[in-house]
Amino acid sequence: MSELIAPVAPVLERPARMHDGRLRRTLSFFGHRPGLLVSVVVVFLVGVSAFAPDVFSSQDPTAGVPAENFRAPGAAHWFGTDSLGRDLFTRVVHGAQLSLRATLIAVAFAFVVGGTIGLVAGFVGRWVDDVLMRLVDVVLSIPTLFLSLAVVTALGYGTTKVAVAVGFANVAGFARVMRSEVLRVRLALYVEASRGIGARWWSVLGRHVLPNSIGPVLVLATLEFGTSILAVSSLSFLGYGAPPPAPEWGTLISDGRNYLANAWWLTTLPGLTIAATVLATNRIARALDGELRQW
């Protein structure tokens, strides 16, 4: 009986050793990259603020106490209060939900539409490639912010419309990257071999071209996430976002610019929140790009 039970021990120990090895490699990876670790923590906290703001503050972001207006940052109010006595930290936390929702819509719109255009142009080629890429060149010739302003002016005001405008302005970049990757993968030996054995075009596209082309586009999406936060906040700053008293990040900075002399925190702290989020996403995007190149 003991002879049958003895070999079981190494089998049970093997998954535990593998788990410990992965944990050590992960800790070593982040230990040599403290900036990346800080960036991951910042993005995680901002994500929690966007999807579960009550974790950090359960107060109403639109309710204020006029007697406590313009309180400087302190223990009672971490980010101070605004002109109506509203807690600025609460408004920044709840504002992440609006700003990041618009950013996610913008990046998803650009990723799907731009990726589809680049995929079709690179895979089909010929006159389809020429027509689509000339349209992309026209979009690229227009500055992103100006194009976003033109689109949101045509669509109207609101968080979702701002997101669509920012996403539309970023479509061309995704189309370019996807097309270049598809052209590279389309000439690979395994794609030619798949065609040579008679595989259908949709099978080649779905099993070989798309999975091997989408990596750099995902990295671009991570990088564009930070840029889109800036674009969404810029349009909100100009008044195209959700109407007051919605606490969008750009709107918070716009509301506080008239009180810079006596309440610097109204613009500085929301601005630092935006800057930290953008820098963190860019750092993660660079790390993903480096890992993808090594792979």
Taking a C-beta distance cutoff of 8 angstroms, is the pair 197, 188 a contact? no
Could you tell me what percentage of the chain is helix, strand and coil, using 3-state DSSP and rounding each to the nearest 5?
Answer: 80, 0, 20
- Whether 233 and 267 share a structural domain: yes
- Whether 53 and 86 share a structural domain: yes
- Whether 257 and 209 share a structural domain: yes
Could you read off the pLDDT of 191-236 as tens digits, one per residue?
666 666 666 666 666 666 777 778 888 888 888 888 899 999 989 9
Is 87 strand, coil or helix? strand
Q: Compute the average pLDDT of residues 174-192.
A: 79
Domain membership flag for residue 63: no
At 167, the pLDDT band (50, 70, 90 cuts) reads very high
Confidence (pLDDT) at 8: 47
Q: Which residue, among 265, 183, 217, has the nearest Cα to 110 in the 3D structure?
A: 217
Confidence (pLDDT) at 199: 62
Of 104-108, 168-172, 242-246, 289-293, least confident by mean pLDDT is 289-293
At 153, the pLDDT band (50, 70, 90 cuts) reads confident
Q: Compute the average pLDDT of residues 133-150.
A: 87
Read off the pTM. Answer: 0.80
Q: At 6, which amino acid appears?
A: A
* Range(s) of the domain holding residue 21: 1-26
The tokens of 201 are what? 């075009």
Structural domain count, the chain = 2
Q: Which residue, among 247, 240, 99, 244, has the nearest Cα to 158 in the 3D structure?
A: 240
Higher-confidence residue: 38 or 206?
38
Domain membership flag for residue 5: yes
